[in-house]
Structure 1
């Protein structure tokens, strides 16, 4: 589960229901997909309300002059009803009407429009008009609505809108609310690389503190290849950037989002990240391990042990020693699945004796069930680390 994705969904839900984000904070523990389905269900219910009346109005509007429809929309129907009627009208007629409507009013309508039901209409709206409406949304800080529409825009429209947004921070606000994370990779490719680099560097600016989760969201929600590219790009900006990202992840409690990103980085960058002094700090390491346990990320964490220096493995051992007994079993199972016994047992040997013996009893519990070759490999690593006598 992604905390960042859940936060984005909560903001969309708050806008839809007219609630404050704080009022819906109790929903944050829910998976982002659950929140998304709730939002879609509310949209569908809203669309069904007075559906027959809306369809009749749309049928009448087909026969009215464009100028009269514009006047009715602006002074009688209002944004919400206009949005619903637009979704029922032929897309070419609705697109023609957009040319006559004030951009600020269209921005109001967009807040109520379900882009899933208006794909064809969005495709037919002129790029210049889209830019005008985007500027109206931007002036009022409506990043949520902008993010909802991004994936339905053409590449030319995305570029045109991005060119009018001078602040990379505002770009990140919009990207944070993009609906389809599958589309995010392509959208990032559309942006100039220099703008992406400048966006990542915003983590160095304490004045842009509220933007940090949005910037991290960019890296966490793209695909594997782009995760590596963006992560390596961040690392290439210096340890100050990496330290700032670690600080943001710790302060915002985002390790369950960040840990999978680290495993996507190039090996040399992984080794550099996991051995930073900021990572070794006890509060940070404890939180990383807690996130690994709560979000079932032990396989990811164990895969990083191979790059850790002695000082980092000592820090891991100190944090492991504070975990509940059942967590030790989950670590051992991840080591079994990943065949990462060498670095895992190297951490075990650093534990206090009581916790070390607990771990070795768990490993011995696999002996009746694991194949002979697997146990032989484990025994060799146990002997290598001087743990055989304790295991027996």
Structure 2
């Protein structure tokens, strides 16, 4: 997508050099590499400027001998803008500026059209801000954004700041699209930071999303969050128009890095848009994420999608072969994105989640610790427990040791969440797989819970036998009060044999 837009900008500038009024006459070139088009344009420029080098140097030398006022008159009435532009690079910059000060703004603008910034950067950088403003106003009056875009990278910041007010938001967008040096875009955005919302809104209102998306593609990574958050703040109409344009232009490689940098609230606003939920849009997003190297940029967005759309993405991920699925998990782990991957795993079918849990990468102790750490930090126990439940028994000791490292508050949060879900057996099973000290810590914590009744209520007729067997196995370590409560709960569930084994010594069954 970016290559295509850059090629369009290059053909637009090439058309100017070739004297074509309609840049679309060069549309047959837009599938070529932009660098090749630019190289051709620069060669054409060189041929035009170099064909009379000796003669032009002679003219420039003569300018040194003639008073400025006379040189200005000769330049305007005898040379004309084309010859002036050709001679400019051979004239001393100071002398050139003095002559320019005596020329009308309209003529300076005509000269600027013909100048080659590679040859005249020293002159352009020395032009006073007032003259830049006057020339910019003349160029904008005739809709010449090409010339302005070609010189932005050599115009000093004070001059750019002075010229910015004469440019409309649409002008800024078009100039940014035609920048000769795209690395200048971040400096321009810094200068007109208060105008950025208007520029993005102009892209939506004027159907100029090709230019807007090119701008998004050109900014440095450190500006992505800023631009993304501004875009999200402009309302649903702008977001919907952006999504539709990105889909039509197949520009997800540009937008996904922006969305992944957004704040939590901005990304939520984006993910809530119905335009994002359309299946063709999600399919295009997934193609870019899984096959275009943007998997890590997708994950933050996926975590904010509604259940149905998250399930769609989960199915596409799970459709990958084991080796590729393992690579995706490893990449997410390395990037520290378990907080986004865990909800995705929860959205998988039970079979696919078990398949993911059985991958070699999920046997890595460091990965398992990262899962528990992220689950704790982001309070994802409700989502993580189904994934943990799908893990093979061989990894339980690692999980048990990791749970043993949790603080009391973290462990309490895990127990409470598990108590309110269908996965209490998972946490109990792992917690009791700890060493004796770890088990004692968990059992004492449960015994002292204000919500211990909630924990007991989570033990139901659906609770696997293995949980009751594990409790019976460590009955000697369970505080007497909790042991009595467990025995009572077992009787309520008609598990009389288990209740008898759990009954505290000396207690009498009711």
Q: TM-score, normalised by structure 1?
A: 0.79
Task: Give the root-mean-square deviation of aligned CA atoms.
Answer: 3.8
User: Quick one: distance in 2 between partners of 1:331 and 1:256?
Assistant: 21
Q: Does the 8 Å contact 2:232/2:266 carry over to 1?
A: yes
Tell me which residue corresponds to 1:197: 197
Q: Does the 8 Å contact 1:119/1:152 carry over to 2?
A: yes
Tell me which residue corresponds to 1:12: 13
User: Quick one: distance in 2 between partners of 1:41 and 1:370?
Assistant: 56
Q: Does the 8 Å contact 2:108/2:135 carry over to 1?
A: yes
Matches within 5 A, 1:13-162: 13-19=14-20, 20-33=22-35, 35-162=37-164
Q: Does the 8 Å contact 2:243/2:275 carry over to 1?
A: yes
Does the alignment pair 1:276 with 2:270? no
Where 1:125 maps in the other structure, the secondary structure is: coil
Distance 1:304 1:127, change over 3 A: same
1:163-193 CA distances to partner (integer Å, 9 max, x unpaired)? 223x321222222223333332222222251
User: Quick one: distance in 1 between partners of 2:295 and 2:6?
Assistant: 21
User: Quick one: distance in 2 between partners of 1:335 and 1:40?
Assistant: 46
Give 1:149 shift: 1.4
1:284-325 CA distances to partner (integer Å, 9 max, x unpaired)? 22222334456432332245333333222234357679x9x7
Tell me which residue corresponds to 2:174: 173
Matches within 5 A, 1:198-347: 198-205=198-205, 208-209=206-207, 211-292=208-289, 295-316=292-313, 333-339=327-333, 342=342, 345=345
Greater relative contact order structure (CA < 8 Å, 6+ sep) = 1
Give 1:154 shift: 2.5
Which deviates more, 231-240 or 294-303? 294-303
Q: Does the 8 Å contact 2:315/2:348 carry over to 1?
A: no
Give 1:247 shift: 2.1
Q: Does the 8 Å contact 2:133/2:163 carry over to 1?
A: yes
Which structure has the greater CA radius of gyration? 2
User: Quick one: distance in 2 between partners of 1:26 and 1:17?
Assistant: 15
User: Quick one: distance in 1 between partners of 2:37 and 2:28?
Assistant: 12
- Which structure 2 segments of 5+ residues have no match? 373-383, 393-510
Give 1:13 shift: 2.8
Distance 1:178 1:204, change over 3 A: closer
- Which structure 1 segments of 5+ residues have no match? none
Q: Does the 8 Å contact 1:79/1:108 carry over to 2?
A: yes
Q: TM-score, normalised by structure 2?
A: 0.62
Q: How many residue pairs were aligned? A: 373
User: Quick one: distance in 2 between partners of 1:28 and 1:347?
Assistant: 42
User: Quick one: distance in 1 between partners of 2:323 and 2:363?
Assistant: 19
